[in-house]
Structure 1
Amino acid sequence: MFTGSLTTREAPGGPASGRAGTTSTMRPLWLLAALLALGQALPFEQKGFWDFALDDGLLMMNDEEASGAESTSGVPDLDALTPTFSSMCPFGCHCHLRVVQCSDLGLKTVPKEVSPDTTLLDLQNNDISELRKDDFKGLQHLYALVLVNNKITKIHEKAFSPLRKLQKLYISKNHLVEIPPNLPSSLVELRIHDNRIRKVPKGVFSGLRNMNCIEMGGNPLENSGFEPGAFDGLKLNYLRISEAKLTGIPKDLPETLNELHLDHNKIQAIELEDLLRYSKLYRLGLGHNQIRMIENGSLSFLPTLRELHLDNNKLSRVPAGLPDLKLLQSSQHFQPLDSRQPLQPHSTQYSPTAPHQASTFNPPPSRGPGLNFLLLMQERSL
């Protein structure tokens, strides 16, 4: 683990002793926060600031290996992992090693004086409304850019051009009406949920051969908003389009998907051809929809499926075609299947659950071919 001093830009005239005291006090607190954040991190959840800061070089390499991205997409060499101690730090921000944290400052523009060797720039929870052409000029080593919870409505078409090694772009909870153009080809993870995006045009993801994770839920996307070929060329492992306005499973999503989350939409039925191309799925989330019917045979196209979430729908029976179910859990005000008995399609082996019983989702380790986990909660008339 790298060690080094903390740089905090203070107002002119601040006492030197105050800066020294802040440095000695903040260092152990920040490291403790880092350890806590890492210990509680879950896959594909929004990461905290210090998930990137602790030994940033090793974390970058781990992310790269997990993503399957090629080594040319931004992982620094060993020389680049040497910590640097630049005196450049924007006013009011906290700078440590190559991490610049400028969150919660009421900023209206991207700050200047960011060191060129910065790998993480955290600008979340500000009032930034526009990303201009030269806002990130010179930041060729930037690995992660956090712009969550601002007021961004406009992004210049060349705003991200200098970011040749950017792998993580978090720009959720803004006011965007379209996906930013000309995203860096090095990008591995894009989180753009909770904006105002209604359309995903063809070609918007062209050239992003390293991308494997997109989170775009919480946008008013309808099925008609996806142009044919919108996802052409992508080799995604993970896609979430929850809390949108979908009435069916979108067409022509990447065939490489391992996880597809479409919870909290208005999907009414699963038809035979809807899942035909997604043979690599092992986790499918369809909870909190309006599904009344799953056509017989539609699930047989998912030979590697391990987890299927169908909670809070309008199904009257267990869908047919489920391969070798191993576990079933249920929740409050729902009637669970008895997971100790062999499951047959359309089974009626129900037993009432306690009024306030709630289950936790802890899927078991894979025990060979077949579905290991099904979360199917059928609402009981009260």
Structure 2
Amino acid sequence: MNIIFCSTLLVSFLTNIVWPRTIRAMDDQPDPYNWLFYTFECPQECFCPPSFPNALYCDNKALKEIPAIPARIWYLYLQNNLIETITEKTFVNATQLKWINLNNNKITTDGIEKGVFNNLKSLLYLFLEDNYLEEVPAPLPTSLEQLRLARNKISTIPEGVFNNLENLTMLDLHQNKLLDSTLSSNTFQGLSSLIQLNVAQNSLTKMPPILPANVMQLFLDSNSIQAIPEHYFDAMVKLVSLRLNNNKLTDGGLQIKVFNISSLLDLQLSYNELTIIPAISIHLEHLHLDNNRINSLSGTQMCPIPIPGDYAYERNLPQLRYLRLDGNGIKPPVPLDLMLCFRLLQALVI
């Protein structure tokens, strides 16, 4: 009796060991909580956090090449390395990538194999800032939502590179080598969802020819722009923030109501060559005009509506909250008509 009982226990014990192993071997999907599996699969040079199994951290490792990327990875961090090339085999298994950060490497235009990003059909964010690119990489996947290419050497934008990027909401090209000749009327065609466009710190002397109508934030600081064409912003009915600091704008280069844009809330024109305050919309809330050549200030001339009476409703008043005019030739006191016009003003810097 004792022998039979022990045999039964032995069979039960072996069954508990072998049977689960058999089942697991038949299952193609690894246990998402199996830390040993993810550790084994993780490239030796990188870190795979068990609590974030879809992320791969290979940043700040002095890498010269991109290691093999496991198929499960969605978020790939490769910034601050010495990587020079990106080949098609790099992402052969990582077809589910949504986020790639390759900032601050040594990647050149010739170092990117053509079409390497286009095969990543789920890619949403691509960061290639602080590299040595001379042109925008092409082609790019239609899924892309953010493309950051700041602080490269880009002087060329291949024709049609943005045509199919209907999901792109942010395009950052600041601090490159863009010229007026780089941008044509078709350059940004197709970017129907674009919200933010940053082309600051380039070598533009003119406004970009045609911009998408949905742009809400337009940054053109630190170029050499001298004039803005009449009706330039008429089609940009959603523009909220416009920055043109550090350019060469003059009174003669601005049509009288070029900035009278009903959607505009923030207008920055610091460090230009203006002598007259341009006309603004009643809806504008922040106006930066410091370090120009403005010598006089008149609320009557500046007010976007006739000076309101004592019993005007707040919603009918000019909405300006912040006005900066320091670095000009304006001296106190502040004109009374200015305060009568802009009654919601919270900060005035002279």
TM-score by length of 2: 0.72
The Cα shift of 1:376 comes to 4.8
**Higher relative contact order (Cα pairs below 8 Å, separated by 6+ residues):** 1
Number of equivalenced pairs: 280
Alignment partners' CA distance in 2, 1:95 and 1:166: 20
Check the 8 A contact 2:290/2:324 in 1, yes or no: no
Determine helix, strand or coil for the equivalent of 1:224.
helix
Alignment partners' CA distance in 1, 2:33 and 2:290: 49
Alignment partners' CA distance in 2, 1:202 and 1:369: 46
> Identity across aligned pairs (percent)?
30
Q: Of the candidates 29, 44, 59, which is equivalent to residue 91 of structure 1?
A: 44
Counterpart in 1 of 2:8? Answer: none
5 Å matches for 1:39-118? 85=35, 86-87=38-39, 88-96=41-49, 97=52, 98-112=54-68, 114-118=69-73
5 Å matches for 1:170-209? 170-209=127-166
Post-superposition CA distance 1:133-191 (Å, at most 9, x none): 11111112211100001111121112114421110000011111111111111100000
Check the 8 A contact 1:319/1:346 in 2, yes or no: no
Alignment partners' CA distance in 1, 2:156 and 2:319: 34
Counterpart in 2 of 1:297? Answer: 257
TM-score by length of 1: 0.66
5 Å matches for 1:1-382? 85=35, 86-87=38-39, 88-96=41-49, 97=52, 98-112=54-68, 114-153=69-108, 154-235=111-192, 236-293=194-251, 294-300=254-260, 302-326=261-285, 328=287, 344-345=301-302, 372=320, 376-377=324-325, 379-380=327-328
The runs of 5 or more residues in structure 1 that have no matched partner are: 1-78, 348-366
Q: CA RMSD in A?
A: 3.2
Determine helix, strand or coil for the equivalent of 1:299.
coil
Q: Which amino acid aligns with 2:64?
A: K
Check the 8 A contact 2:257/2:278 in 1, yes or no: no
Check the 8 A contact 2:291/2:327 in 1, yes or no: no
Post-superposition CA distance 1:332-371 (Å, at most 9, x none): 9998999xx9674299xxxxxxxxxxxxxxxxxxx79976
User: What stretches of structure 1 move > 4 A for 4+ residues in a row?
Assistant: 82-85, 324-338, 367-378
Post-superposition CA distance 1:190-217 (Å, at most 9, x none): 0011111112233011221111110011
Determine helix, strand or coil for the equivalent of 1:135.
helix
The Cα shift of 1:249 comes to 1.2
Determine helix, strand or coil for the equivalent of 2:88.
coil
Kindly tell me: are residues 343 and 308 of structure 1, through their superposed partners in 2, closer, same or farther at Cα, counting changes over 3 Å?
farther
Check the 8 A contact 2:277/2:294 in 1, yes or no: no
The higher radius of gyration belongs to: 2
Determine helix, strand or coil for the equivalent of 1:169.
strand
Determine helix, strand or coil for the equivalent of 1:134.
helix
